[in-house]
Structure 1
């Protein structure tokens, strides 16, 4: 069942015969699985295959627009957000609000986020969707149980459990950079596929994630990707981590704003200053791009990825950052076949983390549809049946 679901998630205009060819099962077996998935409401039929195909046209299948929904929640230093996506990865409900979360008690942050998430779940239910799980994106180190934030320095959190904060669904917690990379893998729309890449994004800090052969690389302890604390100029300014000259001190949002002389409006204001040709903003972005290129050249030489993907808020600033990034990569990457176009700007931008969180939740159904079907059946058996339409109570007689 999972093979069938993933084949449909990866393509369009897909028939039973195409699924059978893709997954290596017989047409009869695939037809039986498809019938069961249709009966469970996880698939839908969309009519005959378009003209021009060889042989008798088959019926086109698609993942359902109703049924399971994944919930994503994001904790930023200055905002909270939540969204719901369906099996196709489309956003069906979204809510966001500004919030000054740095140094704020974790309980207050989580209470407000739970309220926002509950609003999104209710709107998703009105659209015929059922929430499967909530995945919370956090800018910090996550415990191996994916229920605890071990350390989030930009929030001021240490050892904060999150699993009990969202009672409406089961909950998982994930590092925001990892979710941004997974969103790029699943939803980035790269023609021909992109299975080996370094994804880099930044807000207050700078995070990176590595995808190898279509899988997230976590490292031995689960903390891979701390690109922001790679030293680019060891004699440089002190960093919050205790070292000096880290990438974050040159290309993190606060460092950029300080160098550009922008005190309000954060990223959008910095972009506006760059568009207007402000010399301080352009100088800050040029220096940040060069620092980012130095750090990324080490990653490229070590890992030999297909591409570097620039995502998150960095994508908005890419026109001014990328010249410095590409110049440093060209000068420092040992493989001279590395090209400027191997640095890619994410189409998901700032929404990548939130959409990655939501889609990682609904992918639990793609990975194991049989469990979803069994759980739905068990709920149907235990929930009381509604009274027949038009029935009368004793008092109405």
Structure 2
């Protein structure tokens, strides 16, 4: 055997760069399969600007690691046959949670975004320890069925979120509730429900665009998503549009401020404008009011406040489009002139000739939990996340 000379030895720096480049390509391909399930290998090569041989090599590596699966693509005529790329049936998974006013749901999400299994439960008590005990049990039971394949947990919560805590939830009556790990040893993310719903709408329904998302349930929430990234501020508590002073300054909000938009557009606002007591279920109350002729004047005022506030945020944030979720599309649809007139009047003059389109949610009530899945996969599809998967699979 010929002895090696120093010149024959591999350059560690070059080896490191080559390995990093290979992993970068692998992560790029996984993210592409996530955003475009069923993409062909040929399409992936073009999208990632790599040669067909490189795409084949990367997909083979990922297939061997149970990260993607390939299936023959339907024939399209002349040319070499290719394959379509999908989530591997034994690949990593995410556990996702949607914590709502009256109930919760837990599901398992695969690489393609499919919710492959789910369970739901109602709050027997709204004490945080009771609620999280039920959710933790449900997450654990689902995770046990998949033998270590759950690589991240993500929760959507109805409340203001800062880092790992729900610092305030008016509808649940919570303050400063820290969310402990739901699955020990697994990375966890926590997000506001409107923030995550907006993230899902932007990424899945309007990819690559800047989106202002607004939703009415009990109060109004939302987020600005720019190029697929939710703008949540320094601590994650950003996007609380409902607590901008766009309502009546004489009206106190449960958050501690006065004049909040949150209490000027929902069922509580309709009841107050009609001289009635605050409803026990503001969401159900608003649904009934939208078709009640006696409530029309109050509904029109709420729609006008929604329209003018939306215009103000458009002036500030300059989105390409506005997406309305929850009951906001229904409020707009019930009294379109009230919303439309206030929206147009609130826009800066130069925007009126070409205002951003205002469209209804495409994802409906699933938007928050789909957004939680987006946040979970953001944690999984990292060099560290994939390295941990590979290390455990090789044991």
Shift of 1:289: 1.4
Name 1:299's counterpart in structure 2. Answer: 313
Residues 1:158 and 2:175 aligned together: yes
Residues 1:375 and 2:394 aligned together: no
Residues 1:240 and 2:254 aligned together: yes
C-alpha separation in 1, matches of 2:284 and 2:198: 23
Shift of 1:35: 0.6
Name 2:11's counterpart in structure 1. Answer: none
Contact 1:135–1:357 (CA under 8 A) maintained in structure 2: yes
- With over 3 angstroms needed to count, the CA separation of the structure-2 counterparts of 1:162 and 1:376, relative to structure 1, is same
Name 1:98's counterpart in structure 2. Answer: 122
C-alpha separation in 2, matches of 1:245 and 1:129: 48
Name 2:159's counterpart in structure 1. Answer: 140
Residues 1:34 and 2:59 aligned together: yes
Contact 2:303–2:331 (CA under 8 A) maintained in structure 1: no
Shift of 1:4: 1.0
Shift of 1:111: 0.8
Name 1:72's counterpart in structure 2. Answer: 96
TM-score scaled by length of structure 1: 0.81
**CA offset digits 1:137-164 (Å, max 9, x no partner):** 2233333xx3223333433333322133
C-alpha separation in 2, matches of 1:163 and 1:225: 23
C-alpha separation in 2, matches of 1:266 and 1:80: 18
- With over 3 angstroms needed to count, the CA separation of the structure-2 counterparts of 1:256 and 1:194, relative to structure 1, is farther
Residues 1:83 and 2:107 aligned together: yes
SS at match of 1:72: strand
Name 1:22's counterpart in structure 2. Answer: 47
Contact 1:85–1:91 (CA under 8 A) maintained in structure 2: yes
Contact 1:203–1:313 (CA under 8 A) maintained in structure 2: yes
- With over 3 angstroms needed to count, the CA separation of the structure-2 counterparts of 1:284 and 1:42, relative to structure 1, is farther
Given candidates 271, 286, 300, the residue that maps to 2:287 is 271
Name 1:337's counterpart in structure 2. Answer: 353
Contact 1:71–1:362 (CA under 8 A) maintained in structure 2: no
Tell me whether 194-203 or 160-169 shows the greater mean CA deviation: 160-169
Name 1:358's counterpart in structure 2. Answer: 373
- With over 3 angstroms needed to count, the CA separation of the structure-2 counterparts of 1:150 and 1:235, relative to structure 1, is closer
Contact 2:221–2:262 (CA under 8 A) maintained in structure 1: no
Name 1:117's counterpart in structure 2. Answer: 139
Name 1:3's counterpart in structure 2. Answer: 28
C-alpha separation in 2, matches of 1:256 and 1:112: 34
C-alpha separation in 2, matches of 1:310 and 1:243: 25
Contact 2:157–2:190 (CA under 8 A) maintained in structure 1: yes
Name 1:249's counterpart in structure 2. Answer: 263
CA RMSD of aligned residues (A): 2.9
- With over 3 angstroms needed to count, the CA separation of the structure-2 counterparts of 1:374 and 1:225, relative to structure 1, is closer
SS at match of 1:67: coil
C-alpha separation in 1, matches of 2:73 and 2:273: 59
- With over 3 angstroms needed to count, the CA separation of the structure-2 counterparts of 1:265 and 1:95, relative to structure 1, is farther
SS at match of 2:264: helix
C-alpha separation in 2, matches of 1:50 and 1:317: 47
Contact 2:268–2:279 (CA under 8 A) maintained in structure 1: no
Contact 1:181–1:211 (CA under 8 A) maintained in structure 2: yes
Shift of 1:278: 1.2
Tell me whether 244-253 or 79-88 shows the greater mean CA deviation: 244-253
- With over 3 angstroms needed to count, the CA separation of the structure-2 counterparts of 1:268 and 1:338, relative to structure 1, is farther
- With over 3 angstroms needed to count, the CA separation of the structure-2 counterparts of 1:186 and 1:79, relative to structure 1, is same
Q: Which has the higher contact order (CA 8 A, sep 6+)?
A: 1
- With over 3 angstroms needed to count, the CA separation of the structure-2 counterparts of 1:221 and 1:85, relative to structure 1, is closer
Contact 1:288–1:321 (CA under 8 A) maintained in structure 2: no
SS at match of 2:149: strand
C-alpha separation in 2, matches of 1:264 and 1:13: 46
- With over 3 angstroms needed to count, the CA separation of the structure-2 counterparts of 1:140 and 1:378, relative to structure 1, is same
**CA offset digits 1:245-298 (Å, max 9, x no partner):** 321222134334665769566535643553xx3123443332221111111111
